């Protein structure tokens, strides 16, 4: 007897089973679609306008403080809740535009790098903010990521943690031909004084950022190349330069990085400058101001150790005629010299020096013998005889520690209060108490 009929019968049964399975799959898929529709109309989010939905998602991700690409990141979790939530997340480019990558001690594997590129693809045409963290900067993976998306990078931050400031930790460089054509803000941050290696490698990064607006360095130390500083790099659009927290390092080194950085840059558009180094030779600062001729409006300065004469201060201040805000800090734990005196003396005698000055803030970490007579003379002079009337003056002294400043005499207090009645905002003392 031929087996053909029996085999054909088996095929018919299997075909019927397959059709049943396919029907089942179609029913399951259809049920999923209906369930999604039910979820959509049952979800309170569905009744909100898109702008509010998007804002809720933004706040959720900002408050989570987790912008490192990963499957467990809130950004990714939001896309897995429902089709509505996924649609909202993918239609919110800002949700993906701020990325923090911390490759150490848990180094990113290939899937994480793929997610980095996925996130950046969802930014669409928005500018990107990228923070690179950890004690070590990865090599080719990170350089490739920066190079591929360099045209959209608006903010780039190196936020590094170091086990020892004696060991160089920064080995980042750009791939050949990379241009950071949209980069506006570049920052270097470390939890303590940190060696970022030779300055030349970072000047190459600056050179690739023609429209850089702001440069911030906290606890960043750079080493000079064997050939020294050649021609200074001109950054024509840089308006804000912050060189912060280096004094602990300066106490250990003969040459602080602040001096090296100012030697290496020319900044003709600079408006705001903050310097925390107490070892900046005035001759180098003078050379920087003469070379740049910046329209400086705000200066925050830790008074360097050798700026003790009226002549020195006069030369420096004459090169900042557009200054509006002056913030000075005295050397910590150095109570042998009144480092504010040369500044106060110059500003109380010459109306052509800082003619537009509106605000003065003085800060010291040690008890200070206050020269109220000089202070009253300065404030009266700046309020009555200068083109720009002084509007704010603050002398901040430590709240705790040995020594209590002597309050002004009744005569001095009367003169100072009269200036306050005339509209001057005046504070002398620690933050929570005014001696006036």
DSSP three-state, residue 271: coil
Residue 300 to residue 270: CA distance in whole angstroms: 13
Name the pLDDT band for 105 (thresholds 50, 70, 90): very low
In tens, the pLDDT along 44-91 reads: 777 788 888 889 888 888 765 556 777 778 888 888 888 888 888 899
* Closest C-alpha to 398, from 329, 344, 307, 342: 329
Return the pLDDT at 177.
84
Return the pLDDT at 358.
95
Return the pLDDT at 353.
93
* Closest C-alpha to 59, from 72, 46, 44, 75: 75
In tens, the pLDDT along 125-141 reads: 889 888 877 654 556 77
What are the beta bridge partners of residue 266? 234
Name the pLDDT band for 239 (thresholds 50, 70, 90): very high
Tell me the pTM: 0.82
Which helix H or strand E contains 388, and what residues bound it?
none
Return the pLDDT at 234.
95
208 close to 233: Cβ distance less than 8 angstroms: no
CB-side neighbour CA atoms (13 Å) of 402: 2
Q: Which of 101-115, 202-216, 353-367 is the least confident region?
A: 101-115
3-state helix, strand, coil in the chain (%, to 5): 40, 20, 40
Is the per-residue pLDDT at 252 higher than 60?
A: no
Please give the average per-residue pLDDT across 212-241, as a whole number.
86
Is the per-residue pLDDT at 247 higher than 80?
A: no
- Which position has the higher pLDDT, 110 or 375? 375
- Which position has the higher pLDDT, 415 or 16? 415
């Amino acid at each position: 007897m031929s087996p053909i009929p029996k085999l054909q019968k088996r095929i018919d049964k299997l075909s019927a089973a397959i059709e049943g399975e396919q029907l089942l799959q179609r029913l399951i898929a259809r049920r999923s679609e209906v369930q999604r529709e039910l979820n959509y109309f049952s979800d309170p989010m569905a009744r909100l306008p898109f702008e509010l939905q998007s804002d809720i998602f933004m706040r959720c991700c900002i408050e989570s403080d987790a912008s490192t690409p990963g499957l467990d990141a809130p950004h990714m979790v939001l896309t897995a809740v429902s089709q509505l939530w996924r649609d909202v997340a993918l239609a919110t480019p800002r949700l993906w535009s701020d990325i923090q990558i911390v490759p150490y001690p848990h180094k990113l594997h290939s899937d994480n790098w793929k997610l980095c590129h996925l996130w950046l693809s969802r930014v669409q045409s928005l500018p990107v903010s990228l923070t690179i963290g950890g004690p070590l900067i990865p090599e080719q993976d990170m350089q490739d990521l920066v190079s591929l998306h360099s045209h959209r990078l608006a903010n780039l931050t190196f936020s590094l943690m170091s086990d020892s400031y004696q060991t160089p930790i920064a080995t980042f460089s750009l791939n050949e031909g990379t241009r950071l054509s949209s980069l506006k803000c570049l920052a270097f941050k470390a939890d303590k004084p940190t060696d970022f290696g030779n300055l030349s490698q970072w000047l190459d990064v600056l050179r690739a950022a023609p429209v850089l607006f702001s440069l911030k360095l906290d606890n960043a130390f750079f080493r000079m190349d064997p050939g020294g500083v050649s021609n200074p790099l001109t950054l024509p659009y840089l308006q804000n330069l912050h060189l912060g927290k280096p004094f602990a390092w300066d106490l250990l080194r003969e040459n602080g990085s602040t001096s090296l950085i100012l030697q290496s840059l020319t900044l003709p558009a600079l408006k705001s400058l903050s310097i925390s180094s107490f070892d900046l030779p005035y001759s180098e600062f003078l050379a920087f101001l003469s070379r740049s001729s910046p329209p400086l409006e705000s200066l925050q300065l830790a008074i360097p150790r050798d700026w003790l004469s009226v002549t020195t201060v006069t030369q420096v201040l004459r090169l900042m005629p557009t200054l509006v805000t002056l913030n000075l800090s005295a050397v910590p734990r150095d109570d042998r010299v009144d480092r504010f005196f040369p500044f106060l003396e110059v500003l109380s005698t010459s109306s052509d020096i800082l003619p537009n000055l509106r605000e003065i803030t003085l800060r010291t970490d040690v008890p200070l013998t206050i020269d109220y007579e000089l202070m009253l003379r300065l404030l009266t002079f700046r309020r009555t005889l200068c083109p720009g009337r002084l509007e704010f003056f603050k002398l901040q002294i430590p709240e705790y520690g040995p020594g209590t400043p002597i309050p002004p005499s009744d005569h001095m207090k009367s003169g100072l209060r009269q200036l306050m009645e005339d509209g001057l905002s005046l504070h002398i003392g620690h933050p929570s108490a005014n001696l006036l």
